[in-house]
Structure 1
Amino acid sequence: MNAVQTGATAAACSAIKQVITDLPEGPRTRVGVATFDSTIHFYNLKRALQQPLMLIVPDVQDVYTPLQTDVIVPLSECRQHLELLLESIPTMFQNNRTSESAFGAAIKAAFLAMKDTGGKLLVFQSVLPSIGIGALSAREAEGRTNISAGEKEAQKLLQPADKTFKELAVEFAEYQVCVDVFVTTQTYVDMASISAIPRTTGGQVYYYYPFSALSDSAKLYNDLRWNITRPQGFEAVMRLRCSQGIQVQEYYGNFCKRIPTDVDLPGIDCDKTFMVTLKHDDKLQDGSECAFQCALLYTTVHGQRRIRVITLSLPVTSMLSNLFRAADLDTQFCCFLKHAATEVPSKPLPLVREQVTNLCINALFSYRKFCATVSSSGQLILPEALKLLPLYTLALTKSTGLRTEAKIDERSFWINYVSSLSAPLAIPLVYPRMVAIHDLDSKFQEDEESVIPSFLPLSSEHISDDGIYLLENGLDCLIYIGDSVNPDIIRRLFGVATVEEIPTLFVLQQHDNPLSKKLNEVINEIRR
């Protein structure tokens, strides 16, 4: 009921209908659709039928697939039926009064239908899974009643409620099924429990909160389209090897690990990154080299089996100053970020913030103590390569994942998002990019390389009351409007006379003037 009423069902159906044309052509592309509320409904898409036939699975404790064939059909054979079905689903359920959601049972049933071939399972979910396999209770409300145990409770809420979803996920991974979950919600959905499935199967979570059909439908479509068209592979297995004296300590990312040395990936795509930490366990010869090799075996979208091998060789040094000179700030910080994210569910937030700060302090202290020339004690000495580390560390301690007042689901989503994030996206997540947009048309020269103007430092001295600024972190774009902005600029950018007239839910339009066109260009470039 919630999904139908908020327009999430219509938005999902419309997005799926539009992206069908982007799916790779060929006999390997097979599709199936199931809908669910307190029961599960499969659709027989066989061409011989006049119209798609609905098959209902009422048992949400012990689920099954109603047909072994015809539920997942080659796209070339069912395109018309599929389009017809996607058009009719929102109207078919428009009077749905069922508020229960059999999320766990639905994905288990869908998995049973596709377990012979493996592949991708895209799930659209808008309320707390409340019935059948993996049913959850509103833990958030329980956690709020007892304030003294608040800190401990909050931590518990960041861990899955029980093992059900994790166990399902391991089974999915074994049969090469990768799950992505699109959460279109107004309320608490227990992200910590739900996200165990995408995390273990190499998938990802998309989170639209609070979902609005007006502003989020386009984002949902773009996310879904990119999910399907981006460079990706299936049935992958990865291993990292290193030369003597060094061994792999831990892998971080979205995957399943059944044996200690290998990482199983039902799905792998160009947005996912892994972090591997290494342990130095034997003597290394100064002046020699250390080698690292990462091998990934996977199947392409078109069914080719490939192996990709990346080899890296690095010099060994016993001089600390060389180490600081060659330090990679982005990777170093990415490492801090991922470590912090893995600690948050099991440790109190103040402690995690302190650990992050100490990591930074210890690195800089070692540099000062062992590498820097003698100087006065009040002077701050930073290695050139890491001079922004304190700034990023401060930003990290203030980010969603480490802030006390963030909502539980938002923090869970943040932890999940960070786990597979690449270094170029990790820094803007905590230290967003800011540009001035009130003077885009005047200061822009033709010879500039980039559409996006240069970024401003995030401090109050770079913001003036008569300016308008765009702040962007790879997930969200915010526009900040100063108190004394020229009304003419507001009119040109937003089509209204004063800031007060801008509604809370606002979709940015392109108006017929150079400033507005420029702003839309900048935003589209950021999106791209």
Structure 2
Amino acid sequence: MTTAALESFAPWDPRTYQQGSGASQQLQQHSQMPSEVKVREEDTNRSGLFETGFPYANLPPLVSTFTFAQDSGNCNSKFMRSTLYKVPKTDAIMKETQLPFAVVITPFAELNIYEVCQQEIKEPPVLDFGPQEPIRCHRCRAYLCPFMEIGERSFRCGFCDTFNQFETADFTDFKNRPDLRLGVFDLVATNEYCKHGRAPKEPAFLIMIDVSNNSFSIGMLPLLCHNLEKILRNLPREADQIESSIRVGLATFDKAVHFYDISSASPKMLVVCKQQYLLTIPKYTFSADFQEPFVPMVDGLLLPYSEALPGLRAALAEIPKIFSQSRTTETILQPVVQAGLDALKCADRAGKLIVFSTVLPTYDAPGKLKAKNDRSLLGTDKEKRALVPQEDSYTKLGEQCVKSGVTVDLFLFPNGFIDVATIGQLSAVTGGSIFKFQNFSAQKDGIRMLYELQRHVSKKIAFDCIARVRTSTGIRPITFTGSFHMENSTDLEFATIDENKAFLTEIEHDDTLKDSAALIQTAVLYTSMTGQRRLRILNMCLPVTSDYHQVYRLADPEALTAFMLKQAVQLYRDKGSAEMKKSLSSRCAQILATYREKCSEGAPPSQLILPESLKLMPLYVNSILKNDAISGGSEMTVDDKVWQMELIRGMRTEDVMPFIYPRVMPISDLQMNEKEELKELPKLVRASADFLDKTKAYLIDNGVVLFVWVGAACPRTWVQDVFGVGATNQIDTESGLIPEKDNAHSRALRRVIQLLPRGIRQRKKIVVFEKSKLEPRMKTCLVEDGSGAAKSYVDYLVEIHRKIRNLVS
């Protein structure tokens, strides 16, 4: 038996498993199975400095391990993370193992304060070589990078082996060029890379707010108007900027679209509506044409924040007064986006439309949608019908937006069906985001919404992007997953990409790899926040091998999980639930069966053997299969399900992992006195009810929702200190708020919540006490447990082991 095989024995034998065993037996079985919590604890030994490696990229630590990467020639894994860090030499190995070769790409990922790229500069350097075009291979068009072989006056391309001559002007001080030393850098693009051969203008954000009766009744409109001025102070800027270069504009809508001239402290309003008329009232002018929305103003519509502030402040103060008596309950949406797009096009600016909408657009206008109730179809063979758009006009409008570099972000506040499947295409195609606040209450959800908006408008962001992934000879990208538009097989068009947005590409073999390395380069042409056209270049070099042991040893379990989750959603959309579940489980079994066959010869047939790097794979796959976005039935709404599927589309690996396996941590034993400081999160426990002690309280976090679960026997002193009541069944579970009390228990709980890693969304807090009506919802986060048709971790591992034995035999 090989050493690798001995190191990979899972300390659990399925022969010991008995269904229907008692609690102590279940705990024993749990302790014998690979533990996600233990794996993460052990990986903290890799915390601190992480050198990305050269010439080959190093396998990165887990995303939960705090590291600061030093760019050694391969890019930081925050930018590109591969499922494999040793690439099989032949396609035959790929097919036999069924391991996917894929890369999760987050081109503008946020770096932590300790990251080092070049001479301790936090951001990737921006290289400006003047009028000289970026140096590229004349055959494959790859950009100069550390994996090019430099000669006296030429270089050999590492991607296609072509020799390229340098122009005379190029050949200067090559040893000190950052693009030959770093895995990620930006190049200032010449005019040849700009639309129409001219430099772009600064981008703009156009805020478009629903002012129908619905927006008043839920409190969204007055809350937003009162706080928007402060929120826009946080517009993103580059490191050397005092003020953001991004322009801001304001519009409102109901059955019409109202644009605001905010160039003075006495703003003017112009309206696009169905009736053809011109009406003037003090301070405001209304003009009209609805079927072909036009931009009523350019000057005064989009201004830098400091110039816009007096007019913006005045307009936001007046808007609630102007529309306070509105009885309009039907609204439009497609003409709103069309008008906003036209506004940015006329201003010749890329940017964002940030749209706040409260109801399904049912008014008789382009994009009118019908209310439908397909909730009963969820979890059935017919559920695919409920998850597709009603019509394609929103998708086509999104494609128009992409061509002009305009993203659509949707902030939705529905009390009923709003058809995320249809209107969500505006965001899915343009690279935008959807934020959904079901049954919004300003008192309960207002603070969360404002923090969400502030965080969203302050993200570092790139505009009007075109991305292409190039690979060395013998491999090529074949599929892409994310929020973008494609008109050909190579170029991905994003109206914007922010620091939290990722896309994924799967790579396949064209031929046997003849070189010892496989190269991947992602190039993103984009407009910066200052309006400068640039190229971001990301580079990765991976070693090639024919050794199965090495392929498995250097597989990345988290990038692989991200791939499996995104593939599951796509299979679910294309082929339905049953086919998707069968495909994922079969692939999981094949990956592990090939390891069993190739890397652990001579082991007892009954022994379950898992590769050390992928020993949690059955747990993660089972968690994917149980995720609400895939397996949720009629207990959830169609809009909720589609929203989660759209959320997954652009998820980074950092967000995938807690979404699939939530963090569970005890918090009732913690205290923080007034002058003390809590610096670390409590130790995690496994996501199973077997590990919840009813005498304690726990936080359960998946990055979207944060549950506070209080056991029935939790000490009364803790319940009193935190919630101000004498018993668990008196806790207010409706408000979603955690009171701010001046005591050690309350301070500790609120501090732990502050210490949680940033989630993909501003977390919705839900307080649950044991056996309350909300507990079943919380238990969906306990992914090691079974419920209904969903298998427990134990049961699924038994099933996978059975499949492995069948495949091997």
Does TM-score exceed 0.5, indicating one fold?
A: yes
Deviation at 1:313, TM superposition (A): 1.1
* CA distance in 2: counterparts of 1:260 and 1:12, whole angstroms: 42
Asked whether the equivalents of residues 430 and 495 of structure 2 are also in contact (C-alpha less than 8 Å), the reply is: yes
Matches within 5 A, 1:217-256: 217-256=446-485
SS of structure 1 residue aligned to 2:587? helix
* CA distance in 1: counterparts of 2:576 and 2:520, whole angstroms: 35
* CA distance in 1: counterparts of 2:698 and 2:254, whole angstroms: 43
Residue number in structure 1 paired with 2:94: none
2:616 to 382, 388, 400: 388
Residue number in structure 2 paired with 1:177: 406
1:520 to 732, 750, 761: 750
Match status 1:415 vs 2:645? yes
2:504 to 257, 275, 291: 275
* CA distance in 2: counterparts of 1:456 and 1:482, whole angstroms: 15
Letter in 2 for 1:426: V
SS of structure 1 residue aligned to 2:671? helix
Match status 1:433 vs 2:650? no
**1:178-223 C-alpha deviation (Å, 9 max, x unpaired):** 1111112221111111111111111111112232212321122122
Deviation at 1:121, TM superposition (A): 1.1
**1:200-250 C-alpha deviation (Å, 9 max, x unpaired):** 111111112232212321122122112222221112221110011111101
* CA distance in 2: counterparts of 1:376 and 1:15, whole angstroms: 66
Asked whether the equivalents of residues 394 and 422 of structure 2 are also in contact (C-alpha less than 8 Å), the reply is: yes
Residue number in structure 2 paired with 1:53: 268
**1:149-204 C-alpha deviation (Å, 9 max, x unpaired):** 98354212212211101110111111111111111222111111111111111111
Asked whether the equivalents of residues 451 and 521 of structure 1 are also in contact (C-alpha less than 8 Å), the reply is: no
Would the alpha carbon gap of residues 506 and 272 (structure 1) be closer, same or farther in structure 2, given more than 3 Å must change? closer
* CA distance in 2: counterparts of 1:165 and 1:304, whole angstroms: 30
Residue number in structure 1 paired with 2:367: 134
Deviation at 1:447, TM superposition (A): 10
Would the alpha carbon gap of residues 377 and 235 (structure 1) be closer, same or farther in structure 2, given more than 3 Å must change? same
Match status 1:33 vs 2:250? yes
* CA distance in 1: counterparts of 2:601 and 2:379, whole angstroms: 48
Which 5+ residue runs of structure 1 have no aligned equivalent? none
Deviation at 1:12, TM superposition (A): 2.6
SS of structure 2 residue aligned to 1:401? helix
* Residue range with higher mean Cα deviation, 425-434 or 504-513: 504-513
1:309 to 534, 537, 542: 537
Would the alpha carbon gap of residues 447 and 328 (structure 1) be closer, same or farther in structure 2, given more than 3 Å must change? farther
Would the alpha carbon gap of residues 87 and 498 (structure 1) be closer, same or farther in structure 2, given more than 3 Å must change? farther
Asked whether the equivalents of residues 387 and 421 of structure 2 are also in contact (C-alpha less than 8 Å), the reply is: yes
Asked whether the equivalents of residues 500 and 651 of structure 2 are also in contact (C-alpha less than 8 Å), the reply is: yes
* Residue range with higher mean Cα deviation, 61-70 or 235-244: 61-70
* Residue range with higher mean Cα deviation, 177-186 or 20-29: 20-29
2:723 to 473, 478, 494: 494
Residue number in structure 1 paired with 2:551: 323
Residue number in structure 1 paired with 2:680: 451
Match status 1:203 vs 2:432? yes
Matches within 5 A, 1:82-93: 82-93=312-323
**1:252-271 C-alpha deviation (Å, 9 max, x unpaired):** 11122233211122211110
RMSD: 2.2
Matches within 5 A, 1:163-174: 163-174=392-403
Letter in 1 for 2:352: K
SS of structure 2 residue aligned to 1:32? strand
* CA distance in 2: counterparts of 1:19 and 1:144, whole angstroms: 36
Deviation at 1:527, TM superposition (A): 6.1
SS of structure 1 residue aligned to 2:756? helix
1:10 to 218, 222, 235: 222
Would the alpha carbon gap of residues 242 and 516 (structure 1) be closer, same or farther in structure 2, given more than 3 Å must change? same
Residue number in structure 1 paired with 2:293: 63
* Residue range with higher mean Cα deviation, 518-527 or 245-254: 518-527
Deviation at 1:34, TM superposition (A): 1.1
Match status 1:262 vs 2:491? yes
Deviation at 1:280, TM superposition (A): 0.8
* CA distance in 1: counterparts of 2:370 and 2:422, whole angstroms: 11
SS of structure 1 residue aligned to 2:269? strand
Deviation at 1:144, TM superposition (A): 5.4
* TM-score, with structure 2 as normaliser: 0.62
Deviation at 1:328, TM superposition (A): 0.3
Letter in 2 for 1:472: D
Residue number in structure 2 paired with 1:359: 587
Instruction: Determine which structure has the larger helix proportion and give its number.
Output: 1
Which 5+ residue runs of structure 2 have no aligned equivalent? 1-212, 275-289, 759-809
Asked whether the equivalents of residues 475 and 511 of structure 2 are also in contact (C-alpha less than 8 Å), the reply is: yes
Letter in 1 for 2:368: A
Match status 1:373 vs 2:601? yes
* CA distance in 2: counterparts of 1:150 and 1:447, whole angstroms: 47
Asked whether the equivalents of residues 476 and 510 of structure 2 are also in contact (C-alpha less than 8 Å), the reply is: yes
Letter in 2 for 1:126: T
Asked whether the equivalents of residues 338 and 419 of structure 1 are also in contact (C-alpha less than 8 Å), the reply is: yes
SS of structure 1 residue aligned to 2:409? strand
* CA distance in 1: counterparts of 2:701 and 2:582, whole angstroms: 27
**1:56-99 C-alpha deviation (Å, 9 max, x unpaired):** 21134432222243333343333112112223323332222211
Deviation at 1:27, TM superposition (A): 8.7
Asked whether the equivalents of residues 12 and 220 of structure 1 are also in contact (C-alpha less than 8 Å), the reply is: no
Letter in 2 for 1:119: G
2:308 to 69, 78, 83: 78
Letter in 2 for 1:428: P
Deviation at 1:35, TM superposition (A): 0.9
* Residue range with higher mean Cα deviation, 312-321 or 332-341: 312-321
Larger RCO (alpha carbons 8 Å, 6+ apart): 2
Matches within 5 A, 1:77-116: 77-115=307-345, 116=348
* CA distance in 1: counterparts of 2:641 and 2:381, whole angstroms: 15
Would the alpha carbon gap of residues 488 and 360 (structure 1) be closer, same or farther in structure 2, given more than 3 Å must change? same
Letter in 2 for 1:80: P
How many equivalent residue pairs?
518
Deviation at 1:18, TM superposition (A): 1.7
* Residue range with higher mean Cα deviation, 428-437 or 15-24: 15-24
SS of structure 2 residue aligned to 1:346? helix
Residue number in structure 1 paired with 2:630: 402
Would the alpha carbon gap of residues 337 and 174 (structure 1) be closer, same or farther in structure 2, given more than 3 Å must change? same
* CA distance in 1: counterparts of 2:321 and 2:443, whole angstroms: 19
* TM-score, with structure 1 as normaliser: 0.93
**1:100-135 C-alpha deviation (Å, 9 max, x unpaired):** 110111111111111121211101111112122211
Deviation at 1:369, TM superposition (A): 1.9
1:478 to 694, 707, 710: 707
2:356 to 124, 127, 133: 124
* CA distance in 1: counterparts of 2:424 and 2:313, whole angstroms: 30
* CA distance in 2: counterparts of 1:152 and 1:466, whole angstroms: 43
* CA distance in 2: counterparts of 1:86 and 1:157, whole angstroms: 38
